[in-house]
């Protein structure tokens, strides 16, 4: 078993589960933080810490003494016309997307500081921050704040801890199931992307594991688009 330890918050489903599987396959120790263990209980080298990041604090004493990397995966997709959004909607999105990440980072920070060589933090934004999209006011606001946190902490924690974020477009996870609930929606979603498909958890997990490992040792303070070209390209025929 590799001595390096990673913490994956929200590692029991979707992108988080795929990241957990990839790290476990490489024989890393992984601590998954989530409300329920799910299928991670079957993975060798993976332990589960039950916690809800939207309620109360995370027990820092439950983490390994040395943490090589932290991934914060929880998020939300609240798509509504602006006039239908309430203050509570904005607060809920900030709670899970920004403040939950803050709690996780603060709980893991002592272990990250003790990591061999440099440690890495990976957060998740969305293509909708840099590319204006209708009905995304609440989630884009919360993720925009997360991008600010990414850059601020990358500067503050350098050179010991690298901090980066990934900005995906629509990805085929349980979180997005209502947006991909039938063949018509799936076809339309794929066609909106220049690469003519929506994402899958493996696309995003590959980028996350790259940012966790030594191959990205000169990358920090970045928001990396993994979005099928959605944020940067317009294709015309």
pLDDT digits (tens, 9 = 90+) for 53-78: 888 778 888 899 999 999 999 999 89
Q: How many helices and strands, by DSSP H and E, does the chain display?
A: 7, 7
- Cis peptide, bond prior to residue 99, ω within 30 of zero: no
- Measure Cα distances from 237 to 103, 193, 194 in Å: 47, 14, 12
Rounded to 5 degrees, φ, ψ at 7 are -115, 125
Contacts of 102 (CB under 8 A, 6+ apart): 149
> What span, in angstroms and rounded, lies between the C-alpha atoms of 168 and 181?
19
Q: What is the pTM of this model?
A: 0.95
Share of the chain above pLDDT 90, in %: 83
Q: Say if CB 54 and CB 100 are below 8 A apart.
A: yes
Residue 9 has pLDDT above 90, yes or no: yes
Place 184 in a pLDDT band, splitting at 50, 70 and 90. very high
Task: Give the per-residue pLDDT at 3.
Answer: 67
Q: Burial-class residue 116 by CB neighbours within 10 Å (0-12, 13-18, 19+).
A: exposed
Averaged pLDDT of the chain: 94
Domains and CATH numbers, the chain: 5-171+200-226 (3.40.50.720)
Please count the other Cβ atoms lying within 10 Å of the Cβ belonging to residue 50: 11
Q: Which residues have C-beta within 8 Å of that of residue 27, sequence separation ≥ 6?
A: 1, 2, 45
């Amino acid at each position: 078993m590799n001595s390096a330890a990673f913490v994956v918050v929200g590692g029991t489903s979707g992108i988080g589960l795929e990241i957990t599987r990839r790290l476990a396959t490489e024989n890393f120790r992984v601590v998954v933080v989530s409300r329920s263990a799910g299928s991670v209980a079957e993975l060798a080298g993976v332990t589960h810490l039950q916690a809800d990041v939207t309620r109360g604090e995370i027990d820092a004493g439950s983490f390994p003494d040395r943490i090589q990397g932290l991934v914060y995966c929880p998020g939300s997709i609240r798509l509504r016309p602006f006039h239908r959004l309430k203050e509570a909607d904005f607060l809920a999105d900030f709670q899970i997307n920004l403040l939950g990440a803050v709690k996780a980072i603060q709980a893991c920070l002592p272990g990250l500081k003790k990591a061999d060589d440099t440690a890495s933090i990976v957060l998740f934004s969305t293509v909708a921050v840099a590319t204006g999209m209708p009905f995304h006011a609440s989630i884009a606001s919360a993720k925009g704040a997360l991008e600010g946190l990414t850059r601020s902490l990358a500067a503050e924690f350098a050179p010991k801890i690298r901090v980066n974020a990934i900005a995906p477009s629509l990805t085929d996870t349980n979180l997005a199931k209502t947006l991909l609930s039938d063949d018509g929606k799936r076809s339309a979603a794929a066609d909106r992307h220049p690469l003519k498909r929506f994402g899958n958890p493996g696309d995003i997990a590959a980028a996350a594991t790259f940012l966790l490992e030594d191959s990205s040792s000169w990358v920090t303070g970045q928001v990396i688009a993994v979005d099928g070209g959605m944020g940067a390209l317009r294709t015309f025929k």
